[in-house]
Chain A
Amino acid sequence: PTIHTAANLDSVLGKSSGVLRDIVINASPSEVPLSLLVLHGLVCEQYKVLSTVHVHSSVQNVPSKLWNCLGEGNHCRSRREYELGFTLVWKDVHKPQMKFSIQSMCSIEGEGNVARFLFALLGRRYDAVTSTRIDNWVDVAIFQLKKGSSKEKAAVLRSLNSALCKNPWVVGVDLTLADVVLYCALRQAEIDGFPANVQRWVKSCENLACFNLALKLLK
């Protein structure tokens, strides 16, 4: 059901003004939005991204691994040579938030919603059913797996296991946003012992390069 299109920022974001399009993400260092870091890796595979990490004056003593959580960027080139800016700011915020085009967009709140936006940059299109299922899994991951009770978590684990018995990935035969967000939520929920299918899926996630930096942070 996946419809691949030629990835092109102009087709996703509309006309270009010819300068760096900078995505600003504010996140609290006490609650690292792991999925956004994985998505950053995915976006970097497709576009020339200028990644920078800043610490806002509202927070102090940010651990050093968060200062370079986007990897050792090579910033020798001029900003205008990049297609996309990814500016991560460690800041005192309740929820992760994203600011992009301040004239036409309000700031986007919540890890799940920011994740949806970042994944959409990849330009993958899905039919209505698939995209709704992906959206649903994102909600499940954020609200039930991350913030739910142990009972809710167990229920998610069961349904995840059964979803993974038919397919290599959560939704269909390709990696989708659902895999990224579910994987990160699962690792941050500190659950011991996964069912067989989930275990296999966790391994295949960790084999992907884009998960590397996030994995480093977990250690």
Chain B
Amino acid sequence: MTKGESGGVQEDQPQSKKAAKKLQKEAEKAAKKAEKQAKLASENQAGDEEDFAKDRYGILPMIQSQEKLDRVLVHVKTLTEEKADQVVWLRSRVHTSRAKGKQCFLVLRQQQFNVQGLVAVGDHVSKQMVKFAANISKESIVDVEGIVRKVDQKIESCSQQDVELHIEKIYVISAAEPRLPLQLEDAMRPEAGDEEGRATVNQDTRLDNRIIDLRTMTSQSIFRLQAGVCQLFRETLIKKEFVEVQTPKIISAASEGGANVFTVSLSISQSMKYSLKFMFRAEDSNTHRHLTEFVGLDIEMAFNYHYHEVVTEIAGTLVQIFKGLRDRHQTEIQTVCKQYPCEPFKFLEPTLRLEFPEAVAMLKEAGVEMGDEEDLSTPNEKLLGRLVKEKYDTDFYILDKYPLAVRPFYTMPDPHDPKYSNSYDMFMRGEEILSGAQRIHDPQLLTDRALQLGIDIEKIKSYIDSFRYGAPPHAGGGIGLERVTMLYLGLHNIRQTSMFPRDPKRLTP
């Protein structure tokens, strides 16, 4: 026992020394903690008592249109050196916030522009205000008053690099929930950034949370550019005296191929028409370039003697769109390029036109085995695009004179060689964006062709009848808006250029 006890004591002694040290440390810690708490409490107390800035921040009551404020809210994109030292109000989202002692840095975002904001303790700003600013959840919408100040060093992370905003008032207009389903930073990261091991957001997560994904600068730019495509399409055609028409999308019978599109529009008038509309495709194709609902830009035009009059017109319109995008939307193109790097879109004016046999010869020369009257497979289309790019250095070209056998019944046969037809496809970066042809305007020939292809004449009776009372020779084609945007920007998936994509597997959001 004694031995044991003494042993125990002996053993105990160093332990108790350690324990004593431990205790001491704990005591110190506790003391520090208490001190800190006391300090914090006193600070808070002091703060509560003397928060001189309490009117300069807070959560505003819901805007229910109670009052008309005579306040000018400036746009973030206008914050430049010219506005230095001015007091401005603006409404923006809190993109990120980072508190550091007595100051808090905010990145304020409005559409595809952002600016650095700074809340720092001073004459107008109290500690409590800095704390409040730091606690505003990301993506909340705030009204901010501040002074624009020039900065010595460019702020690389913001679109407004030359100035920052010294915030004097900050009010939350609409608070976001603290946890976001995806981080904007992650959604905007270039794919090449994978090496750093940082998170990126996959396509499906993006689409499930499309409302947030659409806020990224990349998405903002994509859809501004897409609006530009529509605007340029209209502008160009209006200048050429085309008329915009609206046609019903609901028809009685499922007619073959794209025939439904033209059933109505042709009987109305005989001049040049175009239409922007939603189109539906019921194929079960889950690819990077197919949607079940998309926006079609259709052109239909009567010509005098040769359908190339129409081909030239359509290609010219597309070239005007490309030029317009290059000249008006360079900022958007650059922004998208940051996340999805891509060579600028190249084209020739007038547009390069090749004929189908030439394409077959080019492919055969490159080692592809295919028949003369065989349609181009998707891989062959892409390969052909590469070959054309190599020789002509253009991302846009027309392929004319498709074999009659691979086109719909209403396609006009080639007068010189009945194996071929007066039809054409247009390609961007090796992918088809437009498919068009001279349509048969003679009811007899139209009936013959339909019969040859085994189509039930009864079902397309109204279409054939519309040509019985004099119809001019005409041709046309339809372009998919989403595809044009995707291929112009060199994106890889059509869902990126559709705001709320619809495909066989997606109906929400």
Contacts and interface: CB of A to CB of B under 8 A. Distances in A.
Interface of A: 17-20, 22, 24, 26, 52, 54-58, 76, 78-80, 87, 89, 91, 99, 101-103
B350 A56 contact: no
Given A102-B390, A102-B391, A57 B358 contact: no
Given A18-B357, A57-B322, A78-B355, 6 more contacts: A19-B358, A22-B358, A80-B357, A87-B392, A89-B393, A103-B365
B121 to A, nearest CB: 54
A17 B355 contact: no
A89 B355 contact: no
Nearest to B349: A55
Contact of B364 (A17, A20, A54): A17
Contacts of B345: 57
B352 interface: yes
A89 B348 contact: yes
Contacts of B416: 78
B347 interface: yes
A56 B346 contact: yes
A55 B361 contact: no
A57 B326 contact: yes
Contacts of A54: 348-350, 352
A79 B354 CA distance: 8
B393 A56 contact: yes
Interface string B210-232: 00000000000000000000000
A20 B357 CA distance: 9
Nearest to B401: A78
16 contacts: A17-B365, A19-B357, A19-B358, A19-B360, A22-B358, A24-B392, A52-B350, A54-B352, A56-B347, A57-B323, A57-B345, A57-B346, A58-B346, A79-B354, A79-B358, A99-B391
A102 B352 CA distance: 17
Given A17-B361, A78-B416, A103-B365, A57 B355 contact: no
Q: Which range contains the number of B residues in contact with the other chain? A: 20 to 34
B168 to A, nearest CB: 47
B358 A26 contact: no
Given A24-B392, A54-B349, A19 B361 contact: yes
A56 B394 CA distance: 8
A55 B391 contact: no
Contacts of A22: 358, 391
Interface in B335-354: 344-350, 352-354
Interface string B356-398: 0110110011100000000000000000000100111110000
Pick the 7 closest A-B CB pairs, nearest first.
Answer: A54-B348, A19-B361, A17-B361, A19-B358, A55-B349, A57-B347, A79-B355
Contacts of B387: 102
Nearest to B355: A79
A24 B387 CA distance: 13
A20 B358 contact: yes
Nearest to A16: B361
Given A57-B345, A80-B355, A103-B366, A91 B350 contact: no
A53 to B, nearest CB: 9
Given A56-B346, A57-B322, A26 B393 contact: yes
Contact of B348 (A55, A79, A80): A55
A17 B353 CA distance: 19
The listed residue with most B CB atoms (<10 A of its CB), out of A22, A55, A78, A87, is A78
A107 to B, nearest CB: 9
A54 B416 CA distance: 27
A24 B391 contact: yes
A87 B416 CA distance: 25
B373 to A, nearest CB: 15
B325 to A, nearest CB: 11
Contacts of B124: none
Contacts of B355: 19-20, 78-80
The listed residue with most B CB atoms (<10 A of its CB), out of A17, A57, A91, A99, is A57
Contact of A56 (B322, B348, B353, B401): B348
A83 to B, nearest CB: 14
Contacts of A55: 348-349
B21 interface: no
A24 B392 CA distance: 7
Nearest to A17: B361
Contacts of B364: 17
Interface string B423-445: 00000000000000000000000
